Structure formats: structure tokens, C-alpha cells
Amino acid sequence: MQPIRQLMHAISQLASPQACLFTSSDLRSILPDQSEASFKTLLSRAVIERHLTRLCRGLYLYEKANTDQGLILPHAVSKLRPLGLNYLSLETVLSDAGVISQIPINRITVMSSGRSGVIDCGPWGSIEFVKTRQRPADLVGNLEYDPKARLWRASIAQALRDMRATHRNIDLIDWNVAHEFV
């Protein structure tokens, strides 16, 4: 069987609506006998032929299994930074709760134990990682797991603390609404 068919057959067997994102390493394990150069060429070919969509560097989307376009960015967080502390916070959480009036379009903000940075995910938007030095033990009671996003989510009070700690613009916060949550 040709390598591209072998790769796509394996992906179609592995993929589901809950698992439609694959890292290069995930895909590499399907074809371990391929040289590094031929594997990179194979991935490029899979993208060109629209079998896979490159979400960002090292992360690929199998669109046939994806049923919820709106959750691509939160799901990508756990694939991009699987070993660190990551949680939705800042403008994303405050906007969802109606505490700030503007809704971030195609952008999520994530507090992370890793370094700060913005990852462009093309038409899906971008993920902004903001460095936090807080330990998980310090956040107990201020985070809850969001099963839809498959990511931890800050409470409103924690998101407000994160806004202050990271010196974000707090002019958009409706303090009347914020005081209801704090």
C-alpha cells in the first residue's frame, strides 16, 4: 500500500469527533519506517491533496472527523502544550460571562506555565498563551474543568486577578456585572 493511503487509512481509523487533531509525532508513529525527509514530503502532500489541514506548525486537522468548528482552538491547546498547566482565562472567560462588552473573534486567551506567545491557526483564529507563575495548588477552587473545551477554565474572580497580574487593559470591564460574580 502507498504511504499516503496507509497514513490516511490509519487516521480514518483513529479519528473521531473527540480526536481529530494530530501532532506530527502522532502521525510519525503511523509510518516509523519512513525517513524524516520522506515523511515531511508525505505530510505536505496530504495537506496539498486536502486529506489533512495544517492548523499550525506541527498540528494537523482531519476535517472529516471534526464536527464542532468552534472548539478547534481550545482542543489545540492540549495538543500544543500537553505537559504544562493551561487554562482559559482573561478576555475569553470575561467575555463569555458578559463582564466585558467586546467578544474576541477567533482568539482565545490561555494562562500557561509555558512561555508567552501567540500561535496563528489560520482561519480558525489564534491562541494567545500568557505566562503564569502560579502553581496548580494556588488555583484550587478557582478553576473548573470545561468538558466541551477539554480544558480548565478560570472563575470570573480568577480571570479578573489574571487581568490585573498581567497588566491587561481593564477599561472594557463592566464592574457592575463583575461585582455580581466576585
Q: What is the pLDDT of residue 63?
A: 85
Domain with CATH 1.10.10.10 in the chain: 3-67
**pLDDT tens-digit profile of 48-75?**
999 999 999 999 999 888 767 678 999 9
Rounded (5°) CA angle 95-20-144: 40
What topology is assigned to 3-67 in CATH?
A: Arc Repressor Mutant, subunit A (1.10.10)
Q: What is the pLDDT of residue 97?
A: 85
Handedness of CA 27, 29, 33, 37 (dihedral sign): positive
The answer to whether residues 124 and 134 touch, using CB atoms and an 8 Å cutoff, is no
Q: Which of 76, 120, 60 is nearest to 52 (CA)?
A: 60
Query: Worst-scoring range by mean pLDDT, 39-43, 46-50, 103-107, 108-112?
Result: 103-107
Q: How far apart are CA 14 and CA 21, in angstroms?
A: 10
The answer to whether residues 104 and 174 touch, using CB atoms and an 8 Å cutoff, is no
Contacts of 124 (CB under 8 A, 6+ apart): 55, 69, 72, 73, 76, 106
The predicted model gives 147-153 an average pLDDT of 92
In whole angstroms, how far apart are CA 26 and each of 32, 91, 116, 173? 11, 32, 25, 41
Confidence of residue 139 (pLDDT cuts 50, 70, 90): very high
**Full-model pTM:** 0.88
In whole angstroms, how far apart are CA 94 and each of 101, 145, 169? 9, 16, 12
